[in-house]
A and B are shown apart, each in its own frame.
Chain A
Amino acid sequence: MIPAPFEYDAPTTLEEAIGLLQKYGDEAKILSGGHSLIPMMKLRFASPERLIDINGIAGLSHISEENGTVKIGALVREVEAEHSDLLKKHFPIFEDVTHLIADPQVRNMGTLGGNLAHGDAANDHPAVMIALGATVIATGPDGERAIPIDEFFYGFYMTALQHGEILTEIQIPVPPAGTSSAYHKLERKVGDYATAGVAVQLTLDANGVCTAAGIGLTNVNPVPLRAARSEAALIGKTLTTETIAEAAKYASEDCSPSSDLRGSEEYKRDMVAVLVKRMIKKASERILI
């Protein structure tokens, strides 16, 4: 399978890339890892007239911590997130999620920026970023803009990014002591997209009372979903079996999965409930250790 013909630019600065995006508008698409875009182009689901390859732009591959915020450059590859000591220290969820994304070769190419910018509810990082309360930084002709993750995903393959804008960084607040996180997705085989996936980050105080909760759901809704009622059900409570079961019930009610080759709607709702329970337990066990 061969993509339709296109023009190709490989700018080396952000300014140049933004200039090209402005000049070509709708005709142009950004190329990062290419592992969502190139398969779509080969299947002719996408036929952009021009690719703007941003891989040659320096300064988009950092993972750093500054003033209570972890900053992840848009071009950080999955494999780099998988092995980052800084991410491991604050967010054990990154090791969970990267292991479950595709396979080692795909993780050598795919970027975290591309994973979000693709705007696909089947991708795993959107739910993780929802649980972690991330902010997406978009750089465009007028400079930088911060987009809270809850305002980032719009619809099927649609995000808040405007023409001329490049996702340049992901920012995640460093959580307080007593916090941990976990992710799991049910998949039919290695490399498959989620039948259902659940990301959880929890903060517990010294008495075991939950003071903050983030829960994101993968591939059970048209857009990546925050399980807001589940989060609210946990806050101010100790994590008893009943509390956890209530949170799980809300998530399975509030998502909107479609029946497809990965399972029926009913099955997926059940799996959401099971995974919410398990990930709350896993995240909270990680806090106690």
Chain B
Amino acid sequence: MKEITITVNGTAHTLQVENRLLLVHFIREVLNLTGTHIGCDTSSCGACTILLNGKSVKSCTVLAVQANGKEIQTVEGLAPEGSLHPLQEGFKENHGLHCGFCTPGMMMRASELLQNNPNPTEDEIRWGISGNLCRCTGYNNIVKAIQYAGAKIRGEELPSTEPEFV
């Protein structure tokens, strides 16, 4: 057991945890923040993606003790209660989700992507989310959602949200 302090979505938590506790279990089961999902549990799908000191990581492959003294952001911390982050708005407006299982991880990954590169090309978006699997959407609307969020963050005219039929 080790005492750790982790700041999650702006609130510091000091707790005794077992050394082998995975960060994703700390988030979901100790803090009850169930927006972060567990899909593959083998670092492949990206459903468990969170930001650790601003960098997107797969929290199923990080120990809670490794996050000691660090800051975490989960999907719950993207926007204040009652409002939507541009990414959340983008996913909503562009049907960027069907079942929604991959969505929190997609949005957390996209939030670092847009932080580093506010105006990514389609190719950069597709490479940027290459560690996140979606079994429903076929990705096109996820790409559109991220483009929409980028435009909103840059303060530019928003792209059309009309569905494309191809």
Contact = CB atoms under 8 A, between A and B. Distances in A.
Say whether A and B bind each other. yes
Interface in A91-115: 99, 102-106, 108-109
A54 B9 CA distance: 26
B34 to A, nearest CB: 18
B19 A39 contact: no
B18 A5 contact: yes
Which interface class (under 10, 10 to 19, 20 to 34, 35 or more) fits B? 20 to 34
A105 B57 contact: yes
B49 interface: yes
A34 B20 CA distance: 13
B71 interface: no
Contacts of B130: 103-104, 190-191
A1 B18 CA distance: 15
Nearest to A55: B66
B55 A108 contact: yes
A19 interface: no
Given A2-B22, A6-B20, A104 B58 contact: no
A85 to B, nearest CB: 16
Contacts of A222: none
A62 interface: no
A53 B55 contact: no
B160 interface: no
A38 interface: yes
Interface in A179-200: 190-191
Nearest to A7: B19
A10 interface: yes
B68 A108 contact: no
B68 A191 contact: no
A106 B43 contact: yes
B46 interface: yes
Nearest to A109: B57
A31 B61 CA distance: 12
B57 A8 contact: no
Contact of B61 (A38, A55, A104, A191): A38
A145 interface: no
A39 B42 contact: yes
A80 B41 CA distance: 26
Chain B interface secondary structure, helix, strand, loop or mixed?
mixed
A39 B20 contact: no
Interface in B80-117: 109, 112-113
Nearest to A102: B131
Contacts of A104: 56, 109, 112-113, 127-128, 130-131
Interface in B123-153: 127-128, 130-132
A42 interface: yes
A86 interface: no
Contact of B58 (A4, A10, A106): A106
Interface string B1-35: 01000000000000000111010010000000000
A3 interface: yes
Contacts of A163: none
A109 B109 contact: no
B65 interface: yes
B63 A106 contact: no
A281 interface: no
A106 B58 CA distance: 7
Contacts of B131: 102-106, 190-191
A42 B109 CA distance: 23
Given A34-B63, A39-B61, A104-B56, A8 B46 contact: no
Given A7-B19, A190-B130, A108 B56 contact: yes
Contacts of A2: 20, 22, 25
22 contacts: A4-B20, A5-B20, A8-B2, A8-B19, A34-B61, A38-B62, A39-B42, A42-B22, A42-B41, A42-B42, A51-B19, A53-B65, A104-B56, A104-B127, A104-B128, A104-B130, A105-B49, A105-B109, A106-B58, A106-B131, A108-B57, A191-B44
